[in-house]
């Protein structure tokens, strides 16, 4: 039976597919850590109260990268180079989504609109991350090998999503509502397209590693296209709505360490 649980279990059980999965995840999280660290260093004077939260966001992303690398190490595996077509974070940046890396590599303070752009980008991508981790937590929260990692990362992604809602609502109350909604919509429509392309690329790689039949690969590809069609029609709207989260000030403290993984 083809299901999300059986698919991930198959990837988890094979060393090569597990290594590719963890390598892609670790690379994306590490890149996110770098981006947040640079943004924290360049926050404009008027928004300095955000620096500790952005710093924690980056520390969480770095921690997730270390966790995925540690999961590989426990199985005696080394990371593999990430195929460019599977590099979700870099593909988003190349599409102009989020704060451009040219700005992050400079030493000039960002503008308030840059910070809003960062938050909108994070709100969209953290929605995707939180949903994916909810799925993994549903099936693998008690798994002896990856259960602790899934629970920890899932909790962090929920915090990140809550934080972006709260901060964007604050900026909206300050008169930035139209810019926020325009930026969220642009990010969401780009994200769903890139998520489709990356999903197809990852499944193609996994299929070659695991020896999937053409019929099975075609079925998975059709499912990915169906999800994209739904998201392009209406599903993207869940990524642009804003509501005050139950979890307030979610990034108001230090990052939670993960000593069992590093």
Question: Per residue in 8-40, pLDDT tens?
Answer: 999 999 999 999 999 999 999 999 999 999 999
Quote the pTM value: 0.94
Residue 101, helix vs strand vs coil: helix
2 pLDDT more than 80: no
> Residue 64's pLDDT band (boundaries 50, 70, 90)?
very high
* Residue pLDDT, tens place only, 192-230: 999 999 999 999 999 999 999 999 999 999 999 999 999
4-239, CATH topology level: Ferritin (1.20.1260)
Task: List CB contacts of 259: < 8 A, sequence separation 6 or more.
Answer: none
Nearest residue to 197 via CA among 220, 228, 229, 226:
228
Both tokens of 70, joined, read 């540690």
Both tokens of 66, joined, read 């270390």
* Residue pLDDT, tens place only, 67-116: 999 999 999 999 999 999 999 999 999 999 999 999 999 989 999 999 99
The radius of gyration computed from the CA coordinates of the chain, to the nearest angstrom, equals 18
Nearest residue to 191 via CA among 136, 99, 126:
126
Q: How far apart are CA 215 and CA 195, in angstroms?
A: 22
Q: How far apart are CA 97 and CA 93, in angstroms?
A: 5
Both tokens of 54, joined, read 């952005």
Task: Please name the helix (run of DSSP H) or strand (run of DSSP E) that holds residue 66, with its range, or none.
Answer: helix 51-74
What is the per-residue pLDDT for 257? 73
What is the per-residue pLDDT for 260? 62
Asked whether the beta carbons of 152 and 67 are under 8 A apart, the reply is: yes
1 pLDDT more than 60: no
Q: How far apart are CA 236 and CA 16, in angstroms?
A: 33
* Residue pLDDT, tens place only, 105-122: 998 999 999 999 999 999
Torsion, Cα of 184, 185, 187, 189 (10° steps)? 160
């Amino acid at each position: 039976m083809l299901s999300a649980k059986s698919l991930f279990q198959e990837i988890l059980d094979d060393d090569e597919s597990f290594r590719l999965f963890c390598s892609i995840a670790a690379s994306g999280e590490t890149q996110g850590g770098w981006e947040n660290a640079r943004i924290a260093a360049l926050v404009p004077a008027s928004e300095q109260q955000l620096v500790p939260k952005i710093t924690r966001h980056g520390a969480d992303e770095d921690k997730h990268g270390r966790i995925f690398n540690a999961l590989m190490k426990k199985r005696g595996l080394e990371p593999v180079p990430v195929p460019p077509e599977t590099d979700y974070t870099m593909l988003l940046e190349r599409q102009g989504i989020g704060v451009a890396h040219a700005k992050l590599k400079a030493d000039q303070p960002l503008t308030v609109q840059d910070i809003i752009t960062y938050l909108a980008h994070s709100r969209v991508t953290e929605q995707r991350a939180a949903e994916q981790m909810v799925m993994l937590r549903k099936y693998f929260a008690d798994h002896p090998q990856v259960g602790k990692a899934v629970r920890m990362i899932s909790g962090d992604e929920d915090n990140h999503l809550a934080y972006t809602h709260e901060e964007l609502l604050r900026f909206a109350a300050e008169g930035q509502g139209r810019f926020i909604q325009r930026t969220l919509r642009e990010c969401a429509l780009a994200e769903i397209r890139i998520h489709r392309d990356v999903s197809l690329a990852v499944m193609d790689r996994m299929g070659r590693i695991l020896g999937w039949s053409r019929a099975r690969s075609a079925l998975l590809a059709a499912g990915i296209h169906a999800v994209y069609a739904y998201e392009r029609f209406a599903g993207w709207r869940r990524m642009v709505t804003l509501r005050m989260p139950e979890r307030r000030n979610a990034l108001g403290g230090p990052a939670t360490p993960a000593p069992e993984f590093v």
